[in-house]
Copies of this chain bind each other. A is one copy, B any other.
Amino acid sequence: MHFTSEQHLDGGVLERAFTLGDVPGILWTPAAVSEPAPLILICPPPLGLRRIHPRLAGRARYYAEEYGFASATIELPGSGERPRWDAAEQARADLRRAMEAGEPVGDDIIDALVLPLVEKSVPEWRSALDALLALPEIGGPVGYEGGVISIGVRLAAVEPRIKAAGFFAGSLVPAVMFEEARRVTIPLHVLLQWDDEDNDRQAALDLFDAFGSREKTLHANMGGHTGVPRFEFENGARFFARHLK
């Protein structure tokens, strides 16, 4: 893990860019902590870290200032400056075509789009976790919140160091992930936008139902994909505070 730049944000939060092999990432740590901080892994949507940076940095600052949590993210395979691969580009084109035609998005497209992303990225997140937890300023426990819910489902199912997860319910979920969801047993906090133009409400409710966790909470609000109300972000932070402190 090599730090490549650092800057001090308002509120005394230290933001450091890093690379881990050829994967770029960002780490935010609270300024003044007396002991190693809990860590939130923030999985970005597949839009590139540069584009999504203001939103992620806002959340990371809130976690640091309000709760003393560190946060970290890494670039997803095929996003930002990272190399594309042909099958993913094809699946993206198929998805766009289906959506523009107003057709249902077939399972084959969803599988081709999401499963390789899960396969490639989950080992990267686990390697990042190894490197992050080796830093003296990071202690744990570890939470995960995520833009690509299938990555989160797989991680929550296989990575015992993740103790709580916040998901944003999306419907582009391969059928196989519903099976993996049953193996997730950590506390979950799931957001659902009731009228999300990009998501299938029933699929999101079915996925929530499938999770094996004894403690899981679904918070549904009106409006579209980007309309999650501010108070739900605060609820999500309180969820992590309950489980990571």
Contacts and interface: CB of A to CB of B under 8 A. Distances in A.
A242 interface: yes
Given A205-B205, A231-B238, A231-B242, A219 B222 contact: no
B217 A221 contact: yes
Contact of A222 (B215, B220, B221, B238): B215
A88 interface: no
B217 A220 contact: yes
Nearest to A234: B238
A213 B221 CA distance: 11
Interface in A100-125: none
A234 to B, nearest CB: 8
A50 interface: no
A229 B215 CA distance: 10
Given A205-B205, A231-B242, A235-B235, A219 B216 contact: no
A214 interface: yes
Interface in A225-245: 229, 231-232, 235, 238, 242
Nearest to A242: B231
- Copies of this protein chain in the complex: 2
A1 interface: no
Contacts of A205: 205
A238 B205 CA distance: 25
A interface, by DSSP: helix, strand, loop or mixed? Answer: mixed
Given A205-B205, A235-B235, A238-B231, A214 B219 contact: no
A220 B221 contact: no
Interface string A62-87: 00000000000000000000000000
Contacts of A216: 194, 221-222
A133 interface: no
Contacts of A214: 222
Given A205-B205, A231-B238, A242-B231, A217 B215 contact: no
23 contacts: A194-B216, A194-B218, A208-B220, A213-B222, A214-B222, A215-B222, A216-B221, A216-B222, A217-B220, A217-B221, A217-B222, A217-B229, A217-B232, A218-B218, A218-B219, A218-B220, A218-B221, A219-B219, A219-B220, A220-B220, A231-B238, A231-B242, A235-B235
